[in-house]
C-alpha cells in the first residue's frame, strides 16, 4: 500500500482542515513527521487506520471513540485517505461523523464510503471492506505497514500460535492447511466405501455356478414348450373349423329372424310411399300459388296504410308553405329599403373612425411637446459629462510618467528574494558543515584517549590477540601434561602386588614410579589461562569500541564532505545569481531603495486604476445619455409621422361619406354616435337575416311538397296493380284445383302434414335395399350349409381342450421367457459385481493413502511446518541488517519451539531470550524483522514499491546507533522501499531530506507544514 493523500478535519488536535500530499514525501523514499509531544504526530496514523478499518490503537467502541476522537471545538469530523494498493489500483476511503446539535456529548455513528478511481472519476464501491482491498487484517496492518506506539515489538514477542496465524494470513499459508480438504475427501471416500459394500451385499448369490444351472433348466423348459405347442396346433385347426361352422348356423338363424321383422314393416313402408308421392305432387303445384296469394294480400294492406300516412304529411307541408309566403310578403318593404340603410351604417362607421383618430392626433401633439423638452435636458447632461471626462483624462496623463513597468518590478523583486534565500541557505549549510567538523574533532580526541592509530590499530590488536592465544596454547599444553602426570601418580598409589594393573594388566609391579604433587602448579596455570581469557575479551572489547568510533568517524567525514560540497554549490549559485542583476535603474546593494520605488509605483498604479475606473464610468454615463437622446429623437420623429398619417386618414374618410356629413357629427360625443351606429347595424342585420331565412325555407318547402304529392300518386298506382295481380292468382288456383280434381280445403289439409319428401324417400329406399340384401344373404347361407350339421357337444369338448392347451402353452412360454430373463439378469448382475469389486479395490487403496495424509496434516502441523520455514527465511533476511546494526555481536534465530531467541557472540555464541535485550537492541531487532517482513510482503504481492511507517523507538538509541539505523533506512531507498518515521529526535530531523512539521496552535489546533 502506498499513501497518496490524507485530509483531516475535527480529529483529535486537528481543528481546521489539514491536507497531506504524500506524493512529494514518498518520492524522497525516506521522510519524517516531527513535532513536540502532543502536537498530533501519531494522530495521523490513527486517522489512516480509522479511515480504512474503523479501528484505532488508543480507543475502542467502548471508549466512546467518536466523541473522544472529535476535536472539542468542532461539530464535524472528516477523514479522507487516498492510497494505491498492491494491484496498483487507486482507492479512496472516507469517514465522517457529526455532533448532535442538541446534545454536545452525543456524536453520531460515522458514515463510511470507499471509492475506486476509474476513467478519471471516483466510483463508489458497494462495500467498505478494507481487508479485501489492502489484503491485510487490521491486526496485521499495524504489524507490517503502520506500526503505532507501543506495538513495535509485538511481532517479536508474539506467541508461536499467534505468529503462525499472522504468517498464515500475510503469506496465504491457508493453502497449506489441507486437513479439512483431506477430511472431506476421506469422508466422501468412506461414504462411497460404505455404499459400495452395501451394494455388494445384494450380489452375494450371483456367481457362475448359479448361471450354469439356470441355463440347463432353460433347455428342459424349451423342450417341454415345443411338445405342448405341437398338440396345441393340431387342436387349434379342428377348433377353428368347428367354430366357423357354428358362426355360420348362428348367422343364418339371426338373419331369418331379422327378415321376418322387415316383412312385417313392408306394409307401412308401402303406405308411406303412396302418401309421399301425393304430397310431393300437390306441393309442387299449389304451394307457389298459395304463397303468392298470401304475399299479395300482405303487400296491398301495407301500401294502403302508407298512402294514408303520406296524405297526412302532404297536408302539414302545404300549411307550412302558406305561412312562409305570408311572412315573406310582410317583410318585403323593409328588405327593399335595406341597401340605403347599409350605406348610412357605413358612413357612421367612417365617422366613428374619424372621431377616434382625432383623439389620437391630440395625444400625439402633447407627447411631441413633452419629448422636445426632454431632448433639451439630455443635451445639457451630455455636455457636463464630456467636460468631466476631459478633466479626469488630463489628471491621468500627469501621473503616468511616475509609474514603473510591472514586469520589471516583478523580475527585480524575485532577484532580491532569491539572493536572500541563497544567503540563508549558505549560512545554514555552513553551520551544518561546522557541526560535522566539530564532531570529527571530538572523534579524533576519543581516538587519542584510546591510543588508537586508525591506520594500524586492527593489526596491533590482531598481534596482541595472537600473542595471548600463543601463551594460552602453551599453558594449555603444560596443563594437559601435568593432568596426565597427576592421574598416573593416582594409579601408582593404587597398585598392589597380585592385583592387575589398570593400564597394562600386569600382576607384578617391581619399579613403581613416584611423582610429586602437581595440584598447586595446575591451579597456578589455570589462573594464568583465565587471566589470558580476560585479556582476550578486553582486546575484543577495545577492538569493537575502536571500530565503532572509526565507523562514526567515517560516517561524519562522508557527511562533512557532502555538506562542504553543498556549501560550494550554494556559493556558485550566489555568484551566478549576482551576474543576473542587469537593471541600471536600481542599486544591487540597496534593496531598501528598490522597495521604496516599488511602493511609490504601486501607489501611482492604484491612483491610475481609480482614475481609469472613473473615466470608464463617466464614459458609460455619456453613452447612456447619447442612447437616450437617439431614442427621444426617434420617438419625436415617429410622433410627427403618425400625426400626418392620421390627418390624411380623416380626409380620406370624409371623402368616402355618401349620405351623412362630418360637420354634423364632429362636435357630438363618440358614445352617442356609437349607440346610433349599433342600433342601425343591428336592425339591418336582423332584416337581412330574417328575409334570407324565409327565402331559404320557401325554396326548401316547395320541392319537398311536390315530392310528397308524387309519392301519394305512386302509392295509388301500386295498389291498383296489386289488386289485378290478386285476381289473376285466384283464377290460377281455381284452374289447378279443377285439373287435379281436388277441393281447396282438401289440398290445404294434405299440405298441412308437412312431410319431408327427401327424408321419406331416403327411408323407403334404404328399407327396399336392406330387405332385398337380407333375402339374398339367407338364400346363399342355406345353399352353403345344406350338406352340413352342427353338434354342440362335440364343439364344447373341442373348445374345452383348446382352452386348456392354450393355457399350457402360455405357462410353458412364460416359464421359458422368465428363465431366459433371469439368466440375462444374472449375467448383468455378475458383470456389475465385477465392476463394483474393481471400484472397491480402488477405494480401499485410496483409504490407505488418505489415512497417511490425515496423519500428515493432522492439527495444522503442516501449516506450522511451512510457517517455520517462512520464519527461518525471515530471520535470515532480518539478520543481514541486525548484524550490521550490532557490529556482528548479536544474531536472531528460531528455536525448536518456533520462538525467537538471541545468539550472543560476545558470550561464546550462547542463546538467550529476546526479553533480555535492552530497549535500543529490541528496537534494532524489531526494525530488522519489520523490514524483512515488509520485504517478504512486497515480494509476495509483487508490488513495485512498499510503504512502512514507524512511530517510536529512535529515542532509545544513542548517537552512534541512530547513525547506523539512519544508514539502514537510507539504503532502503535503493530497494524501492518507502519509510516514514515519527520522532522528536533532533539528530534524525537534520538528516531526513523531507519531512512534515506539526505545530500545535492554541486557536487553530494542529497545523501541518512541509520542511
Contact of 388 with 615, CB cutoff 8 Å: no
| Distances 1004 to 39, 74, 324, 513, 694 between C-alpha atoms, Å | 12, 11, 106, 99, 101
Q: How many Cα neighbours within 13 Å face the side chain of 553?
A: 15
Q: What is the DSSP secondary-structure string of 229-291?
A: HHHHHHHHHHHHHHHHHHHHHHHHHHHHHHHHHHHHHHHHHHHHHHHHHHHHHHHHHHHHHHH
The cell for 836 is 463394483
d(CA 328, CA 694): 6
Nearest in space to 239 (alpha carbons), one of 792, 791, 798: 798
The cell for 611 is 482614475
| Distances 182 to 179, 434, 846 between C-alpha atoms, Å | 5, 70, 11
Run of H or E including 64: none
Neighbours of 828 (CB within 10 A): 11
Give the per-residue pLDDT at 516: 64
Give the per-residue pLDDT at 421: 87
Residues whose CB is less than 8 angstroms from the CB of residue 853 and which lie 6 or more positions away in sequence, other chains included = 178, 182
d(CA 563, CA 569): 10
| Distances 345 to 339, 352, 659, 685, 694 between C-alpha atoms, Å | 10, 11, 10, 11, 24
Nearest in space to 382 (alpha carbons), one of 671, 621, 563, 24: 621
| Distances 75 to 9, 99, 401, 526, 955 between C-alpha atoms, Å | 10, 5, 56, 79, 36
Contact of 786 with 199, CB cutoff 8 Å: no
Contact of 986 with 36, CB cutoff 8 Å: no
Contact of 1001 with 38, CB cutoff 8 Å: no
**557541526: which residue's cell?**
435
**501519531: which residue's cell?**
42
Neighbours of 383 (CB within 10 A): 9
Burial bucket for residue 403 (CB in 10 Å: 0-12, 13-18, 19+): middle
Contact of 502 with 487, CB cutoff 8 Å: no
Radius of gyration of the chain (CA): 68
d(CA 418, CA 818): 115
d(CA 226, CA 460): 125
d(CA 830, CA 824): 10
Give the per-residue pLDDT at 955: 59
SS (H, E, C) 77-97: EEEEEEEECCCCCEEEEEEEE
Contact of 5 with 21, CB cutoff 8 Å: yes
d(CA 921, CA 886): 8
d(CA 875, CA 914): 13
The one-character DSSP state at 110 is: P
Q: To the nearest 10°, report the CA torsion of 124, 125, 130, 135.
A: -120
d(CA 944, CA 941): 9
Give the per-residue pLDDT at 148: 55
d(CA 601, CA 30): 47
d(CA 997, CA 808): 115
d(CA 433, CA 559): 8
The one-character DSSP state at 151 is: -
d(CA 523, CA 384): 128
d(CA 929, CA 890): 14
Q: What is the DSSP secondary-structure string of 443-465?
A: HHHHHHHHT--TTTHHHHHHHHH
Angle (deg, nearest 10), helices 208-336 and 670-740 = 120
Could you report how far apart the first and last alpha carbons of the chain are, in Å? 24
| Distances 269 to 10, 226, 275, 396, 755 between C-alpha atoms, Å | 121, 61, 10, 144, 14
Nearest in space to 131 (alpha carbons), one of 170, 81, 174, 161: 170
Backbone φ, ψ for residue 901 (5° rounding): -145, 165
pTM of the model: 0.38
Low-confidence ranges of the chain (pLDDT < 70): 143, 147-154, 169-170, 172, 174, 483-516, 855-861, 937-945, 951-962, 964, 972-976, 986-987
The cell for 1006 is 494542529
d(CA 921, CA 887): 12
Nearest in space to 917 (alpha carbons), one of 153, 12, 139, 99: 153
Q: What is the DSSP secondary-structure string of 943-976?
A: -S-EEEEE-S-GGGS-HHHHHHHHHHHHHHGGGT
Residues whose CB is less than 8 angstroms from the CB of residue 541 and which lie 6 or more positions away in sequence, other chains included = none
Nearest in space to 396 (alpha carbons), one of 616, 74, 221, 214: 616
Q: Where are the beta strands (DSSP E) in 746-889?
A: none
Give the per-residue pLDDT at 503: 47
Give the per-residue pLDDT at 113: 94
Contact of 78 with 110, CB cutoff 8 Å: no
Give the per-residue pLDDT at 19: 92
Residues whose CB is less than 8 angstroms from the CB of residue 328 and which lie 6 or more positions away in sequence, other chains included = 691, 694, 695, 698
Contact of 364 with 611, CB cutoff 8 Å: no
Residues whose CB is less than 8 angstroms from the CB of residue 80 and which lie 6 or more positions away in sequence, other chains included = 5, 6, 7, 51, 92, 93, 94
**485517505: which residue's cell?**
81
Amino acid at each position: 500500500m502506498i499513501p497518496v493523500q490524507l485530509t483531516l478535519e475535527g480529529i483529535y488536535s486537528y481543528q481546521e482542515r489539514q491536507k497531506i500530499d504524500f506524493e512529494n514525501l514518498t518520492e524522497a523514499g525516506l521522510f519524517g513527521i516531527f513535532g513536540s509531544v502532543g502536537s498530533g504526530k501519531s494522530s495521523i496514523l490513527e486517522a489512516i487506520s480509522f479511515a480504512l478499518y474503523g479501528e484505532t490503537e488508543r480507543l475502542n467502541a467502548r471508549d466512546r471513540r467518536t466523541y473522544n476522537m472529535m476535536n472539542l471545538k468542532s461539530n464535524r469530523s472528516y477523514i479522507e485517505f487516498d492510497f494505491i494498493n498492491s494491484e496498483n489500483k487507486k482507492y479512496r476511503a472516507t469517514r465522517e461523523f457529526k455532533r448532535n446539535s442538541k446534545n454536545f456529548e452525543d456524536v453520531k455513528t460515522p458514515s463510511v464510503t470507499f471509492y475506486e478511481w476509474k476513467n478519471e472519476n471516483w466510483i463508489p464501491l458497494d462495500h467498505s471492506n478494507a481487508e479485501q482491498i489492502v489484503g491485510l487484517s487490521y491486526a496485521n496492518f499495524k504489524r507490517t505497514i503502520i506500526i503505532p506506539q507501543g506495538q513495535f515489538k509485538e511481532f517479536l514477542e508474539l506467541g508461536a500460535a499467534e505468529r503462525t496465524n499472522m504468517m498464515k494470513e500475510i503469506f496465504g499459508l491457508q493453502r497449506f492447511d489441507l486437513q479439512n480438504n483431506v477430511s472431506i475427501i476421506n469422508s466422501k471416500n468412506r461414504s462411497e466405501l460404505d455404499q459400495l459394500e452395501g451394494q455388494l451385499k445384494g450380489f452375494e448369490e450371483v456367481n457362475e455356478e448359479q448361471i450354469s444351472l439356470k441355463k440347463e433348466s432353460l433347455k428342459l423348459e424349451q423342450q417341454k414348450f415345443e411338445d405342448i405347442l405341437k398338440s396345441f396346433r393340431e387342436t387349434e385347426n379342428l377348433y377353428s373349423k368347428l367354430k366357423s361352422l357354428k358362426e355360420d348356423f348362428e348367422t343364418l338363424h339371426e338373419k331369418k329372424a331379422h327378415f321376418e321383422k322387415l316383412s312385417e314393416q313392408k306394409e307401412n313402408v308401402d303406405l308411406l310411399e303412396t302418401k309421399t308421392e301425393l304430397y310431393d305432387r300437390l306441393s309442387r303445384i299449389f304451394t307457389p300459388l298459395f304463397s303468392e296469394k298470401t304475399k299479395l294480400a300482405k303487400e296491398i294492406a301495407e301500401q294502403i296504410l302508407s298512402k294514408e300516412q303520406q296524405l297526412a304529411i302532404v297536408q302539414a307541408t302545404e300549411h307550412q308553405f302558406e305561412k312562409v309566403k305570408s311572412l315573406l310578403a310582410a317583410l318585403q318593404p323593409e328588405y327593399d329599403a335595406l341597401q340605403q340603410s347599409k350605406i348610412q351604417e357605413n358612413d357612421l362607421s367612417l365617422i366613428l373612425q374619424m372621431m377616434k383618430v382625432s383623439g389620437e392626433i391630440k395625444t400625439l401633439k402633447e407627447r411631441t411637446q413633452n419629448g422636445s423638452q426632454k431632448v433639451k435636458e439630455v443635451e445639457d447632461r451630455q455636455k457636463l459629462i464630456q467636460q468631466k471626462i476631459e478633466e479626469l483624462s488630463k489628471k491621468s496623463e500627469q501621473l503616468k510618467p511616475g509609474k514603473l513597468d510591472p514586469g520589471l518590478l516583478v523580475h527585480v523583486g524575485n532577484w532580491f528574494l532569491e539572493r536572500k534565500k541563497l544567503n540563508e541557505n549558505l549560512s545554514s549549510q555552513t553551520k551544518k558543515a561546522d557541526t560535522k567538523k566539530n564532531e570529527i574533532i571530538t572523534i579524533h580526541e576519543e581516538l587519542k584517549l584510546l591510543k588508537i592509530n586508525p591506520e594500524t590499530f586492527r593489526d596491533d590488536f590482531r598481534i596482541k590477540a595472537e600473542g595471548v592465544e600463543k601463551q594460552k596454547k602453551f599453558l594449555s599444553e603444560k596443563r594437559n601434561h601435568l593432568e596426565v602426570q597427576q592421574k598416573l601418580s593416582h594409579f601408582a598409589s593404587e597398585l598392589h602386588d597380585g592385583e592387575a594393573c589398570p593400564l597394562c594388566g600386569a600382576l607384578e609391579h617391581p619399579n613403581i614410579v613416584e611423582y610429586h604433587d602437581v595440584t598447586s602448579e595446575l591451579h597456578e596455570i589455570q589462573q594464568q589461562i583465565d587471566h589470558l581469557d580476560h585479556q582476550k575479551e578486553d582486546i575484543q572489547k577495545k577492538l569493537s569500541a575502536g571500530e565503532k568510533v572509526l565507523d562514526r568517524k567515517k560516517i561524519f567525514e562522508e557527511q562533512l564532505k557532502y555538506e562542504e560540497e553543498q556549501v560550494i554549490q550554494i556559493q556558485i549559485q550566489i555568484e551566478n545569481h549576482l551576474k543576473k542583476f542587469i537593471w541600471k535603474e536600481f542599486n544591487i546593494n540597496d534593496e531598501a531603495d528598490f522597495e521604496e520605488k516599488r511602493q511609490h509605483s504601486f501607489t501611482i498604479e492604484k491612483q491610475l486604476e481609480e482614475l481609469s475606473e472613473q473615466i470608464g464610468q463617466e464614459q458609460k454615463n455619456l453613452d447612456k445619455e447619447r442612447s437616450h437622446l437617439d431614442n427621444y429623437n426617434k420617438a419625436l420623429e415617429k410622433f410627427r409621422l403618425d400625426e400626418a398619417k392620421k390627418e390624411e386618414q380623416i380626409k380620406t374618410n370624409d371623402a368616402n361619406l355618401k349620405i351623412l356629413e362630418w360637420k354634423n357629427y364632429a362636435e357630438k360625443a363618440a358614445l352617442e354616435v356609437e349607440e346610433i351606429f349599433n342600433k342601425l347595424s343591428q336592425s339591418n342585420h336582423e332584416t337581412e337575416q330574417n328575409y334570407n331565412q324565409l327565402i331559404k325555407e320557401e325554396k326548401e318547402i316547395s320541392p319537398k311538397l311536390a315530392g310528397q304529392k308524387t309519392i301519394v300518386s305512386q302509392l295509388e298506382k301500386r295498389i291498383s296493380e296489386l289488386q289485378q295481380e290478386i285476381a289473376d292468382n285466384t283464377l290460377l288456383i281455381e284452374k289447378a284445383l279443377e285439373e287435379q280434381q281436388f277441393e281447396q280445403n282438401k289440398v290445404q289439409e294434405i299440405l298441412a302434414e308437412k312431410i319431408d319428401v327427401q327424408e321419406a324417400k331416403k327411408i323407403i329406399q334404404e328399407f327396399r335395399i336392406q330387405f332385398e340384401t337380407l333375402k339374398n344373404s339367407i338364400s346363399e347361407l342355406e345353399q352353403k350349409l345344406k350338406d352340413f350339421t352342427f353338434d354342440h357337444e362335440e364343439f364344447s369338448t373341442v373348445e374345452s381342450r383348446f382352452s386348456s392347451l392354450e393355457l399350457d402353452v402360455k405357462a410353458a412360454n412364460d416359464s421359458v421367457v422368465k428363465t431366459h430373463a433371469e439368466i440375462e439378469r444374472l449375467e448383468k448382475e455378475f458383470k456389475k459385481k465385477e465392476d463394483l469389486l474393481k471400484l472397491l479395490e480402488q477405494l480401499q487403496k485410496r483409504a490407505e493413502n488418505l489415512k497417511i495424509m490425515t496423519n500428515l496434516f493432522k492439527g495444522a502441523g503442516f501449516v506450522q511446518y511451512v510457517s517455520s520455514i517462512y520464519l527461518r527465511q525471515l530471520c535470515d533476511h532480518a539478520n543481514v541488517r541486525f548484524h550490521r546494526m550490532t557490529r556482528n555481536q548479536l544474531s536472531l534465530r528460531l528455536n525448536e519451539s518456533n520462538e525467537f531467541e538471541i545468539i550472543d557472540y560476545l558470550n561464546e555464541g550462547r542463546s538467550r531470550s529476546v526479553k533480555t535485550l535492552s530497549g535500543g537492541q529490541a528496537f534494532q531487532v524489531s526494525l530488522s524483522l519489520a523490514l524483512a517482513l515488509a520485504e517478504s510482503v512486497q515480494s509476495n504481492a509483487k508490488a513495485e514499491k512498499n510503504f512502512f511507517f514507524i512511530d517510536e523507538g529512535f529515542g532509545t538509541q544513542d548517537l552512534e546507533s541512530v547513525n547506523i539505523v539512519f544508514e539502514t533506512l537510507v539504503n532502503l531507498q535503493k530497494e524501492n522501499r518507502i519509510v516514514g518515521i515519527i520522532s522528536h529526535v533532533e539528530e534524525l530531523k537534520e538528516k531526513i531530506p523531507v519531512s512534515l512539521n506539526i505545530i500545535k496552535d492554541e486557536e487553530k489546533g494542529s497545523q501541518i507544514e512541509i520542511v
